[in-house]
Amino acid sequence: ETGVTQTPRHLVMGMTNKKSLKCEQHLGHNAMYWYKQSAKKPLELMFVYNFKEQTENNSVPSRFSPECPNSSHLFLHLHTLQPEDSALYLCASSQYASPSTDTQYFGPGTRLTVL
């Protein structure tokens, strides 16, 4: 609907598992974002990529590892997660990485549960 797709939509993993979240945008945008949305906190920016280069890492633990092979695809590799990492992970994209001029379009999110 928004031109940003995320897979899987739901993921349950153990603390010792390794999994990856995928995001793809079909809007021709150059900037992509990962956000975390927890039940008790506002939406938190995790990473920003602009033209495939990481421009923002918002003090995210190293157990979250992003990858941006091209401007249309963004991955979030997960390993050795904790139960408190359970949340909705949202991907977004925008024409450029300028929040004051470029509307961000969000995907539907991946609901992650860490057991």
Partner 1 sequence: GESVGLHLPTLSVQEGDNSIINCAYSNSASDYFIWYKQESGKGPQFIIDIRSNMDKRQGQRVTVLLNKTVKHLSLQIAATQPGDSAVYFCAELIQGAQKLVFGQGTRLTINP
4 binds partner 1 per the rule CB under 8 A: yes
What is the nearest approach in angstroms of partner 1 to the Cβ of residue 45?
5
d(CA 18, CA 112): 13
What is the nearest approach in angstroms of partner 1 to the Cβ of residue 8?
11
Binding piece for partner 1, criterion CB under 8 A, among 14-22, 33-41, 59-67, 70-78: 33-41
Contacts of range 83-88, beta carbons closer than 8 Å, 24 or more positions apart = 83/15, 83/114, 83/115, 84/114, 85/112, 85/114, 86/112, 86/113, 86/114, 87/36, 87/37, 87/38, 87/39, 87/112, 88/36, 88/37, 88/38, 88/112
What is the nearest approach in angstroms of partner 1 to the Cβ of residue 115?
18
d(CA 60, CA 31): 19
In the range 41-70, which residues lie near partner 1 by CB under 8 A? 41-45, 48, 55-56, 58
Cβ closest to partner 1, residue 73 vs residue 111: 111
107 binds partner 1 per the rule CB under 8 A: yes
Query: Residues interacting with partner 1, by CB under 8 A?
Result: 1-2, 4, 9, 37, 39-45, 48, 55-56, 58, 88, 90, 92, 97-100, 103-111
